[in-house]
Amino acid sequence: MTNAAEIDPNHLDFDPDALRAKYRAERDKRLRPEGNDQYRRIEGSLAHYAEDPYGGVTPRAPREDFTEILIIGGGFGGLVTAARLKEAGFSDLRLLEHGGDFGGTWYWNRYPGAACDTEAPIYLPLCEEVGYVPSHKFAYQPEILEHARRIGRHYDLYDGALFHTAVTDLRWNDDAQEWVIATNRGDALRARFVIMSNGPLNTPKLPGVPGIESFKGHTFHTSRWDYAYTGGSAEGGLSGLADKRVAIIGTGATAVQCIPHLGASARALYVFQRTPSSIDVRNNRPTDPAWAASLQPGWQRERMENFNILTSGGIVEQDLVMDGWTEIIRNLISMANFRGTAIPREEVPRLMELADFQKMNAIRARVDAIVEDPATAEALKPWYRQFCKRPCFHDEYLPTFNRPNVHLIDTQGQGVERITETGVVANGVETPVDCIIFATGFEVGTAFTHRAGYDVTGQDGLKLSEAWAGGMRSLHGLLVHGFPNLMITSNAQSGFTTNFPHAMDERAQHMAYLLRALKARSAHILEATEAGQNAWVDTMLKASRASESFQAECTPGYYNNEGKPNPLSVQNGSYGRGPVRFFQLLEAWRDAGAFEGLEFR
C-alpha cells in the first residue's frame, strides 16, 4: 500500500481548507437533481442484459414439496447459513438460487481480472471447516467460485438446491403454519422456515442515457460477461477483441479490475469516466506454503476478528492482515504515537480527516508517478474522502493508461450523454466503437421488491413492502413482526463490515442458535414482538447519526444515494456503532437467555 508517513497535526505539508474546497467543488459538479433516478432498470427492451451467459437452463418439472428450512440465495450468505444450520443439526434444507450454480456475486461477476479486494484468507468463508487455504492473498474469481462449490459439496447442499430458480412470491399460510413459495419455474414449494439471503448489489443497472437500444454493435453488462464475443477467460487473453474498438462506461471497482485486460487485448479501448476511483497498491502474491502449514486451529476466526477490530477503529497488538483497509486506521494510531497520548474522543473526527487527506494525497501522487501523460494523470485523480466511494487496489490499472491504444475520455463529472447506432457521445463528441461494455454497477436504494423480484406476504395479508414503507423495521435486522418463521440476512439494521462473509457468518450462527432454542422449547413459531422491533429501530436511530454529515459531504455514488442522502438511510442502514459492537450485542443477547423482543409459540 502507499505508505503514509506519520502526521504532525500542527505542522501539515498540505492545506486542509484548500482540499475541503476542492472536494466540495468536485462534488457539486456531480450532483444531479434526479439522484438515484438517473439509472435505467434492466427490464423490457433491455431485459437481455440480465440473461445468464454462463450456462443454459436445464429443463425440469415444477416441484411441489415441503422442506423444514428454505433458503433464498446460494451466494456466500445462503451457503454459510446453510452450513451453520447443518452443523447445528438441521438437515432438511432447500436452497433456491437464481444463478446456475452456487456462488452468487461470484457466479455472475466473471469479468476478466475479477478478484476479491479483502484478503482471501479472511474473505473466503469456512476455510478451516472445509480444509482450504487460498492460493493468493487476493484470490481470483474462478478460485472463489470453486470455493463456493466446495462449501456446497462439503455440506451436502447440492441435493436440496434448485438452480436457475427465482422466487416470484412468498406467502405465509397461517392455517398450515408454513410458507408457500412460488418460483419462475412453476414450483409451489412449502417450508416451515424461510431465510432470505438475497444479497446486495444483485441487480445490474444501466445509465439512463438515450439511445441504448439503438446501438447496432455488440454490448453487455460486466456482470454478464460475453466471452463468446471477447474470447479469453477470467484470466484475460481476450483474443476476440484484437480487431475491435471497445468502449467501457464506468470506472468503479469492476471497471478497475477488467480495464487492464481490455487494454491488453482490444485494438482500441475508450474508457468513459465520470468520477475516478482511488487506486491504492495491491501487492497481490501467492500464499507462502510455509505460512499455510504453520496455521493453527482457530486461525481464520482470529484473523477475521483482528481485521474487524482494526477496520472498526479499534486497537490490536498486531495487524495480521496488513492491507489497504487497515492502513488508514494504522495511520491514525501512528498519529497518536507521535503525540505520545491517547487521542481525546472529540479530536478523532478531525484527525481522521487529516489522515484521510494525507492518504488521498499519496493516492494522487501515485497517479502522477505512474501515468506518463500529465493531462491523463490529472483526470485520473480522485478528489473526495477515501470512503466516499469504494476504495480500489490495483497495480495494473493506472499503467494501462500508458498504452497507446487506451484512451481516457474524462467527462468532468457529467457522464456519457447518449448512445448512437455507432458509438458513444460524451463532451459533445461521438466516439465510434464496435462494442460497449457497461460497468455501471448495481441497483442500490431502489424498492426492495424490485431488487428481490418478489414481495413477501406475512400474517393477515401484510406485505413486507407495506410494513417497511416508512423505513425498515426489524429485530437485529433478522426478524420482522408479522412475518413468523422468516429470517433475513443482510447488512440492513445489522453489523456491516468490509469483510462481508464475516458478518454473514455471525448472523448464520445467531440464526442457528435461534432455531435450536425454538426446538428445545418444542415450539413451532418464532417472531419478533412489536415492542422488540420498536426498541431495535430506536437503537438504530440513536446509533447511526454520526455518518450523516460525512455522507452529505461526499461526492455522489451509491454509498450516499447519489448525493441525496435518503432520510431513511439511517433507519435502513447498518448498525451505526460498528460490527464489533453489533456482534458483541448479539452475543450478550444470547448470553442473557431472555430472548428479549422475540416470541416463541
Which positions touch ligand NDP (CB under 6 A)? 30, 115-117, 201, 207, 209, 249-255, 257, 272, 274-275, 390, 415-416, 439-442, 557-558
> 230 or 254: whose CB is closer to ligand NDP?
254
Joined grid coordinates for residue 147: 470455493
Rounded to the nearest whole angstrom, what is the least distance from the CB of residue 249 to ligand NDP in the complex?
A: 5
Helix segments in 405-556, DSSP class H: 448-452, 464-467, 500-520, 530-543, 547-553
In this structure, what are the phi and psi dihedrals at residue 158, rounded to the nearest 5 degrees?
Answer: -65, -35
Cα distance between the two ends of the chain: 53
Q: How far apart are the C-alpha atoms of 368 and 122, rounded to whole Å? A: 33
Rounded to the nearest whole angstrom, what is the least distance from the CB of residue 86 to ligand NDP in the complex?
A: 27
> 73 or 415: whose CB is closer to ligand NDP?
415
Q: How far apart are the C-alpha atoms of 135 and 299, rounded to whole Å? A: 16
> 139 or 478: whose CB is closer to ligand NDP?
139
Whole-number Cα distances in Å, 568 to 492, 493, 548, 574: 12, 12, 11, 12
> 189 or 406: whose CB is closer to ligand NDP?
406
Joined grid coordinates for residue 169: 412470491
Rounded to the nearest whole angstrom, what is the least distance from the CB of residue 36 to ligand NDP in the complex?
A: 11
In this structure, what are the phi and psi dihedrals at residue 280, rounded to the nearest 5 degrees?
Answer: -100, 175
Q: How far apart are the C-alpha atoms of 347 and 359, rounded to whole Å? A: 18
> 387 or 536: whose CB is closer to ligand NDP?
387
> 203 or 257: whose CB is closer to ligand NDP?
257
Helix-strand-coil split of the chain, %, nearest 5: 40, 15, 45
- Contact indicator for 409, 433 with CB cutoff of 8 Å: no
Rounded to the nearest whole angstrom, what is the least distance from the CB of residue 30 to ligand NDP in the complex?
A: 6
> 255 or 487: whose CB is closer to ligand NDP?
255
Joined grid coordinates for residue 326: 487497515
Rounded to the nearest whole angstrom, what is the least distance from the CB of residue 109 to ligand NDP in the complex?
A: 7
> 37 or 347: whose CB is closer to ligand NDP?
37
Give the DSSP letter string of 72-125.
E--SHHHHHHHHHHHHTT---EEEE-SSSSS-THHHH---TT-B-SS-HHHHST
Rounded to the nearest whole angstrom, what is the least distance from the CB of residue 527 to ligand NDP in the complex?
A: 33
Rounded to the nearest whole angstrom, what is the least distance from the CB of residue 371 to ligand NDP in the complex?
A: 18
Joined grid coordinates for residue 144: 472463489
Rounded to the nearest whole angstrom, what is the least distance from the CB of residue 65 to ligand NDP in the complex?
A: 35
CA atoms within 13 A on the CB side of 283: 9
